[in-house]
């Protein structure tokens, strides 16, 4: 079998299109423009690239983008004061504090100081609890993007066996909750899982989010399974230079899978598209307006 390639780049463009359409309507009918504030502390080069990309795409869908760049030695008190100001600013519907933060700042404390209603990352403990109990939450962007791709490809996920490899708070755990919410039978596997290949071979859906380049190989994949690769790893090429690979060994997995996301161009572009979707959702909820269809869990 040669797998169907799930085109996340194209799907993300569709999501952004839907967001832009809804934003235009919000402006025209209600005079409301959704606003996203992104806070970056320090000069981490990868974070700078992400933040620039977020700001650009926010403006492209017609929303207001507010960027706050703080120096690496910003005190916790100053960062918390900025978050408090953003929490109380009616023009700001979504707040994202780019992670990782410099070591002297307590990430949990900072994230939990964001108003849960504006927590477009879905990292606040209230949103984690709401998601875990099947209530209306803000949902982390990368798992939400994976769920959208799976729903688009399969329609219903009910009764499917899903194996999530990785137990991070950002991807693995919320992904498992979302799959459970769509009535999958869910296994969370991780670095201590015994006989991981055998566990993965039972899966109709595999979500790989371990951060280990090309760890999941074709021999682990059940014939016809759907493989969602969340990994983005830069590796050295034998002939020099570097290339991006996922957590899945693409060629061998694509030979047995029914469908697979490539890296790049799979899950990656969905993350920012879902951030924009979450900002729109937060804005609609803040104004007691109907939420757009198909952009939430
Ligand atoms: N750093 C890497 N990924 C993310 C993310 O999804 N949200 C935030 N806030 N920081 C990140």
Q: Which of 236, 224, 193, 189 shows the shortest CA–CA distance to 208?
A: 189
* Best of 49, 50, 138, 141 for a ligand 1 pocket test (most atoms within 8 Å of beta carbon): 50
Identify which of 149, 128, 131 has the alpha carbon closest to the alpha carbon of residue 262. 149
- Burial grade of 227 (CB within 10 A; 0-12, 13-18, 19 or more): buried
Q: What is the rounded distance in angstroms from the CA atom of residue 181 to the CA atom of residue 176?
A: 9
Looking at ligand 1, which residue's alpha carbon is closest to its atom 11?
99
- CB distance 99 to ligand 1 below 6 Å: yes
* Cα 206 to middle of ligand 1, angstroms: 22
Contact 148, 292 (CB under 8 A): no
How do the pLDDT tens digits run along the chain, 297 residues long?
Answer: 789 999 999 999 999 999 999 999 999 999 999 999 999 999 999 999 999 999 999 999 999 999 999 999 999 999 999 999 999 999 999 999 999 999 999 999 999 999 999 999 999 999 999 999 999 999 999 999 999 999 999 999 999 999 999 999 999 999 999 999 999 999 999 999 999 999 999 999 999 999 999 999 999 999 999 999 999 999 999 999 999 999 999 999 999 999 999 999 999 999 999 999 999 999 999 999 999 999 999
DSSP-derived letter for residue 244 is E
150-156 long-range contacts (CB < 8 A, ≥24 apart) are 150/182, 150/205, 150/226, 150/228, 151/182, 152/11, 153/4, 153/6, 153/226, 153/259, 154/226, 156/182
What positions carry a catalytic annotation?
A: 54, 98, 121
Structural domains present in the chain: 30-117 (3.40.50.10860), 141-268 (3.40.50.720)
Give the ligand 1 atom nearest the CA of 170: 6
Asked whether 58 lines ligand 1 (CB < 6 A), one says no
Q: Is the CB of 96 under 6 A from ligand 1?
A: yes
| CB of 121 shorter than 6 A to ligand 1 | yes
Per-residue pLDDT, 285: 98
Other Cβ atoms closer than 10 A to 190 = 13
Tell whether ligand 1 has an atom less than 6 A from the beta carbon of residue 141: yes
Mutation to probe ligand 1, out of 121, 143, 230, 278 (largest number of atoms < 8 A from CB): 121
């Amino acid at each position: 079998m040669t797998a169907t390639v799930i085109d996340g780049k194209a799907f993300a463009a569709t999501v952004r299109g839907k967001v832009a359409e809804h934003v235009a309507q919000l402006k025209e009918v209600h005079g409301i423009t959704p606003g996203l504030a992104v806070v970056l502390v320090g000069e981490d080069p990868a974070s700078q690239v992400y933040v620039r990309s977020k700001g650009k795409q926010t403006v492209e869908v017609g929303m207001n983008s507010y960027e706050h760049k703080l120096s690496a030695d910003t005190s916790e008190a100053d960062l918390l004061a900025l978050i408090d100001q953003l929490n109380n600013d009616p023009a700001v519907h979504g707040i994202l504090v780019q992670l990782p933060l410099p070591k002297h700042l307590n990430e949990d404390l900072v994230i939990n100081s964001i108003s849960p209603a504006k927590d477009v990352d879905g990292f606040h403990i209230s949103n984690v609890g709401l998601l875990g109990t099947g209530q209306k939450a803000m949902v982390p962007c990368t798992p939400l993007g994976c769920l959208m791709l799976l729903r688009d490809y399969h329609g219903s996920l009910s009764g499917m066996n899903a194996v999530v490899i990785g137990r991070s708070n950002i991807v693995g755990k919320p992904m498992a909750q979302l799959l459970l919410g769509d009535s999958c039978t869910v296994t969370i596997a991780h670095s201590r899982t015994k006989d991981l290949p055998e566990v993965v071979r039972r899966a109709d859906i595999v979500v790989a989010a371990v951060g280990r380049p090309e760890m999941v190989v074709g021999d682990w994949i059940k014939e016809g399974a759907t493989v969602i690769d969340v990994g983005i790893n830069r590796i050295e090429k034998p002939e020099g230079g570097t290339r991006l690979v996922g957590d899945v060994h693409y060629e061998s997995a694509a030979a047995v899978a029914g469908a697979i996301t490539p890296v790049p161009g799979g899950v990656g572009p969905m993350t920012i598209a879902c951030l924009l979707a979450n900002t729109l959702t937060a804005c609609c909820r803040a104004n007691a307006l109907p939420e757009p269809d198909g952009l939430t869990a």
